[in-house]
Copies of this chain bind each other. A is one copy, B any other.
Amino acid sequence: MANSRSGDSMTSRIVRVLDSFTGERTVQTATQIARRTGMPQSSAHRIVNDLVEAGLLERDDENRIRLGMRLWELALRGSRALRLRQAALPHMEAVQAQIRQHTQLAVLEHDEALFLERLSDPDSGANVTRIAGRLPVHASSAGLVLLAHADPAVRERVLAAPLRSLSPETITDAEALRKLLTSIRRRGHVVAPGSIEVISTGVAIPVRDHEEVVAALSVVLPRASPTEPAVLALLAAAKSIERDLQNSH
């Protein structure tokens, strides 16, 4: 009933349609959606119509399709992402006011770092992070913290897979990475110079809900900046976020 002849569930086809939208591609025609998802035109048009009717997609006067406000509402209203982000935002603002560089909150999602929030100062430097964007766990400072505290099975899976180089300084050797993860658990934070972009240093620490690490808080500094003030600001913020998460239960 819910399956097409190809055995592909209706849910997974809806995901493919939603997944064809990105921060750089916010408007598409149904024909483009069909091409990008590899679905037959007729199926893609039918699913798009269904999703428009349900409000998950919106169609403008020129027949172009965007993600709908209803989708946004359904995805956020009862989400862990919103709860985490609400607990974190005031304390991220405090970090940002003090350090005046990009301040970010990420969670582990399917072996990658998914960014829930990002605050930027007009004067802050280069930063590839986007809200609802992802970065590899072995390269981003937030990802390294998340990986250090992940389930051992996740850690072994990431270490066993090819470790892609994002910059000449990305750690791509599994044994070196394993040592770094041990040191992150011992020291309680990471300073990752140049692992994403040679001109920047990421600094990150874990955020706990009860005993479990649920997120990483990070700042991206220009390479030459001292890192100690950032570590201290992040530690203070994480402590406050953890207190607010406790109180929100």
Contacts and interface: CB of A to CB of B under 8 A. Distances in A.
A54 B22 contact: no
A78 B21 CA distance: 5
A227 B38 CA distance: 55
A14 B19 CA distance: 16
Interface in A125-166: 130-134
Contact of A11 (B3, B4, B50): B50
Interface string A15-29: 100110111011000
A79 to B, nearest CB: 5
A131 B117 CA distance: 14
Contacts of A134: 73
Given A1-B4, A69-B81, A11 B54 contact: yes
Given A69-B107, A76-B131, A2 B10 contact: yes
Contacts of A109: 69-70, 73
Nearest to A109: B69
Given A14-B11, A14-B14, A82-B132, A19 B50 contact: no
Chain multiplicity (copies): 2
A86 B2 contact: no
A116 to B, nearest CB: 8
A25 B119 CA distance: 29
B75 A2 contact: no
A239 to B, nearest CB: 16
B77 A75 contact: no
Contact of A83 (B22, B26, B110): B26
A77 B54 CA distance: 19
A51 interface: yes
B74 A15 contact: yes
Interface of A: 1-4, 9-12, 14-15, 18-19, 21-23, 25-26, 46-47, 50-51, 53-56, 66-67, 69-83, 86, 89, 93, 107, 109-110, 114, 116, 119, 130-134
22 contacts: A1-B3, A1-B10, A2-B46, A10-B50, A11-B51, A11-B53, A11-B54, A12-B50, A15-B55, A19-B74, A22-B78, A23-B82, A26-B83, A66-B79, A67-B75, A71-B74, A71-B75, A72-B75, A72-B116, A76-B132, A77-B133, A82-B132
